[in-house]
Structure 1
Amino acid sequence: MGASPGTVGSLERRVFASLNGLPDALRAPLWLAQTAGVLAVPLVVAAAALVLRHWRLAVAAVLLVPAKLGVERDLLKVLVPRERPGTTIPGAVLRDVPSAGPSFPSGHALIAFGLVVLLAPYLRRRWVLAALTLAVLNSVARVYLGAHAPLDVVGGAAAGIAVAALLNIVVGVPVRPSGRRATVPG
């Protein structure tokens, strides 16, 4: 079981089929949700952080881009050779995504969950939950679109959490007086 042998097990295929087989009416909103994981999003977050004078967040968000590329391409895709659902799952519905190529981990999930961890020290709880919801929808969307199998997005999410936690340690996070979050309206 697991992603390491490069195969997709029966449980993972069933989860994939349940998400990938959702109605086509969800295509537009889920396509939009998957954009939360594109490589430019951390740079947009960094720009907003600069405007709000959250220097550490800006640095961490910029560093997330090369960290993502290194962990995804130079480490995990090498350690876990796994192809996209168009190659490994018969009957996969592909919605404007590649049918072949390396699949583990999902770089979109890595970015989306990494941003949740980077933003958490700066946001109030409800906004952290909103960011987490968007990250989960991003991962669901990647499976729905046929770009990734479920373990690909789980691996991407775990890698994103780990990378962002390390970045938070390296650049530091704001100290919260009286247990409150740093100031961001909401």
Structure 2
Amino acid sequence: MSARRRPRDAVTAAGGAAVAVLCSWAVASGEVGTAERAVFTWVNGWPDVVERPLWAVQLLGVIAMPLLVAVPALVLRQWRLALALVLLVPLKLLVHGELVKSLVQRERPGSVIPGAILREVPSAGIAYPSGHAVVVAGIVVLLAPYVRRRWLELLVVLAALVCVARVYLGAHAPLDVVGGAAVGVAIAGALNWVVGVPDRRVRAASS
């Protein structure tokens, strides 16, 4: 199938970058505001019965996940998707680890939110933005041009659950995951534009 560069992917990248900048500005002081703290306390205080399921779900945001998803993409000969998924890893490390974290340094809830419940997560260290959110949001945006709508909806739900899980476990405050997801959307949108995505117009014209 032929590929094309869609203007919407450039818009997606710009939109994600804009939201990331806004979140970075909002947390630049290093403090957690009253409203954000209230959301954190509510989610973080959910019962222990959901800990195991949410802990398992958040594994979808580990740094190796794009490479794992790239394997079936290669099997299905979706070369552009596989390339974009592989590139997501170093770009995540560069933008999230080297750029954003060097500019915005907000500590983890265990250091800045009194009474935070920590469930097998670090109590200290830079929390903004959430790396799990970067990864899972990036994967969803990269897969979006390749999957049917019902599968995309499922992917979005899973990505949201990863972000919620990181807050529930006490690893991040809400804006950490929102900012991380925005960074992931920006990176993946740019990758889709640079690498190209399937041209569905060709399939529609030939059917």
Q: Which has the higher contact order (CA 8 A, sep 6+)?
A: 2
Gaps of 5+ in 2: 1-24
Percent of paired sites with the same residue: 61
Q: Return the letter of the residue paired with 2:72.
A: A
Please point out which of 119, 134, 145 is paired with 1:95.
119
Q: How does 1:1-186 map to 2 (within 5 A)?
A: 2-177=26-201
TM-score (norm 1): 0.94
Distance 2:121 2:44 in 1: 12
Deviation, structure 1 residue 79: 1.1
CA 1:178–1:59: 2 relative to 1, 3 Å: closer
Moved over 6 A (4+): none
Deviation, structure 1 residue 179: 8.0
Distance 1:57 1:105 in 2: 25
1:129-176 Cα shifts (integer Å, max 9, x gaps)? 111000000000000000000000000000000000001011110101
Deviation, structure 1 residue 178: 6.9
Distance 2:92 2:43 in 1: 26
1:2 partner SS: helix
1:37-81 Cα shifts (integer Å, max 9, x gaps)? 001110011111000110000000000000000111111111111
1:104 partner SS: coil
- State the superposition RMSD in angstroms: 1.2
1:99-131 Cα shifts (integer Å, max 9, x gaps)? 000000000000000011000000000111111
Gaps of 5+ in 1: 181-186
Q: Which structure has the highest helix share of the two?
A: 2
1:75 partner SS: helix
CA 1:83–1:179: 2 relative to 1, 3 Å: farther
